[in-house]
Amino acid sequence: MILLLSFVLIAGNQSDGTIRNGFNSIIGKIESNGTVRNASNSFIGKIESDGTVRNAYNSVVGKIESNGTVRNASNSFIGRIESDGTVRNASNSTIGSIASDGTVRNESNSTVGKASGVKMEWIAAFFFFNFFTI
């Protein structure tokens, strides 16, 4: 249940949670309160303060635990986010990384974008663990 980056992000100067694709078009936003929106500004989910991830229908689709463990709706382990920003899947393979400045890198360590002003755990939920449909 890993989202392979099907779009390329472009680094931007925004620190408001706006996320842009490779054509510099806005594809979504993660607000400071955890609300997730698509490019049309429609609500597509929320990441709650306890790490619970909900979709647009308010159904629990996963959880990010305080130690970086990521679980799906069935409470199965699907990966983890390490303190250095490395993102690993359930097989312990590196699937990407997120730098403290929001730079997103793929498994080959190539920079694929940036999401400034967003917690790295939330960026991982959005891009690597397929919790939201944009």
> What's the mean pLDDT in 58-68?
96
Task: Map tokens 């590196």 to a residue.
Answer: 94
CB 78 within 8 A of CB 90: yes
Is there a domain that residue 6 lies in?
no
Q: Decide if 5 is inside a domain.
A: no
In a domain, 2, yes or no: no
What is the reported pTM? 0.81
The pLDDT value given to residue 92: 97
132 lies in some domain: no
Residue 12 lies in a domain: no
Q: Name the 3-class secondary structure at 127.
A: helix
Task: Report the domain count for the chain.
Answer: 1
Q: DSSP label at 40?
A: T
pLDDT tens sequence across 10-61 = 334 446 888 866 556 677 899 999 999 998 999 999 999 999 999 999 999 9
Query: 68 vs 15, 18, 89, 122, CA distance in Å?
Result: 23, 23, 12, 11
1 assigned to some structural domain: no
H helix or E strand, kind and range, residue 94: strand 94-98
- pLDDT higher than 70, residue 1: no
Domain residues for the domain of 38 are 18-127
